[in-house]
Structure 1
């Protein structure tokens, strides 16, 4: 950015919606809404994680919102403007078609004067291919937003782990009930033998602590 500022999004595990397209688009949308300054020409670089970034939801979201004056300047670090995770995937499917062979392309260009059209290139010096992703006879609504996704929250076993193993390390006693509160779920009703990580990562040491 010309401002010389770099923004990082740190998402609490309790609020996360995973690493899919909905999360990526929600954070990009938030940045443009609250940190943008009315830019009319933008360049976005995503890493090459095809399952997360290089997909139709990303392309469609840029296509829908590439309008002049859409970005409104907001105060940085405005705590009253939280990041809202929305179901962009389902929302955009009603307006756009799926782009075939999207993983073969690395450069995408959209123009606000040509809604629905995406110029695709395999590399920076490749011959561009233009495709129309807009569904036939579709009028994009500019007054509606996708449904908000409700966070799944922390697994009961993780809540007990934080309360029993992490709470003591909170230097500020006032923060203990915010960061590591005691869960209302009875411990005897929690299954500590199953994989408690929502991303299916094994955590044997965590479970061992819980079982002791």
Structure 2
């Protein structure tokens, strides 16, 4: 059995300097989101670094994209998986998350998946790893995404960096329209936010066991719109990132470039 915990960290900005130049205080440098997935048994956390040019929001679809990449490239490939996440309505408390996990069970990628979203649960392993990362970040000069990768790798042995896209514009973690792909096959769970524990098992195809608290009875619900119709193993259509707008590119060039280390001023950041 594999146990994973996942969460978003507060985004960071670069260029960043511990001796912050005064004028940059009133400006907004380039943004980079951080999403961490921690394997509790090792322990090791993979930190997805989402550069501003590859941001697709913090909704359920973005979470699914990074979870899928993690399970395919960094996971321990266990048949039984348990996920732990915070009780965030904007990111985790969404039906598409359940649809994706149920899709993995239906297509044979996993035999059993459980997800816990306990209310009031805010501090767990990802926060420990984020804290080590942020400590190193505050003491380091970061002029580019490459520098941020080094900060993550050197912050602690438990932290590992995974860039979503490269400096050259190459998208490594592909964005898929999971919500649009799965919605024709699955129904929504009514009163979704009242439940905090979900279990999907290959012995109950298409069903999700939901529990409000540990003392409450289990409620089973069939989510397949047509029990005889199971989604295929094919991946959804790829969604290309919109990239930086021309206005944002000029803003970074005119207002932010001067604060980069001299060696990076002629390099695309």
TM range (shorter): 0.7 to 0.9
- In structure 2, do the counterparts of structure 1 residues 125 and 161 end up closer, same or farther at CA, with 3 Å as the change threshold? same
Unpaired runs of 5+ in structure 1? 180-212
Does the aligned pair in 1 maintain the 2:49–2:161 contact within 8 Å? Answer: no
Return 165-174 or 38-47, whichever deviates more: 165-174
| Structure richer in strand, relative to its length | 2
Residue 57 of structure 1 pairs with residue 148 of structure 2:
no
Separation in structure 2 between the aligned mates of residue 27 and residue 67 of structure 1, nearest angstrom:
20
Ranges of 4+ aligned residues in structure 1 off by more than 6 Å: 76-81
Q: Secondary structure at the match of 2:225?
A: coil
Listed as ranges, the gaps of 5+ residues in structure 2 are 1-38, 111-159, 164-169
Q: Structure 1 128/69 Cα, relative in aligned 2: closer, same or farther at 3 Å?
A: closer
Deviation at residue 34 of structure 1 after TM alignment: 0.5
Match for residue 139 of structure 1 among 215, 218, 230: 230
SS of residue matched to 2:209: strand
* 1:141-187 deviation digits (Å, cap 9, x = unpaired): 12x111111112113222111101221222253564311xxxxxxxx
| Residues 32 and 115 (structure 1), Cα distance of their counterparts in 2 relative to 1, 3 Å cut | same
Within a 5 Å distance, the mapping from 1:1-12 to structure 2 comes to 1=39, 2-12=41-51
Specify the alignment match of 2:76 in structure 1: 37
1:157 equivalenced with 2:196 (yes/no) = no
Residue in 2 that maps onto 1:123: 213
Cα deviation, residue 105, structure 1:
0.5
**Number of residues of Structure 1 aligned to a counterpart in Structure 2:** 174
Question: 1:69/1:100 Cα in 2 relative to 1: closer, same or farther (>3 Å)?
Answer: closer
- Are 1:24 and 2:114 matched, yes or no? no
Alpha-carbon shift at residue 116 of structure 1 (Å): 1.0
Q: Residue 85 of structure 1: which of 167, 175, 187 is its match?
A: 175
Q: TM-score, normalised by structure 1?
A: 0.74
Return the match for 1:114 from 204, 217, 224: 204
2:87 to 32, 40, 48: 48
- Distance of 1:113 and 1:135 partners within structure 2: 18
Decide which structure has the larger Cα Rg and report it.
Answer: 1
Partner of 2:195: 105
Aligned CA RMSD, in angstroms, stands at: 2.4
State the TM-score, normalizing by the size of structure 2.
Answer: 0.59
> d(CA) in 1 for partners of 2:89 and 2:66?
18
The answer to whether the 8 A contact 1:38-1:68 is kept is no
Describe the shift of the 1:176–1:115 C-alpha distance in structure 2 as closer, same or farther (beyond 3 A).
Answer: farther
* 1:114 CA displacement: 2.1
| Aligned counterparts of 2:106 and 2:88: Cα–Cα separation in 1 | 27
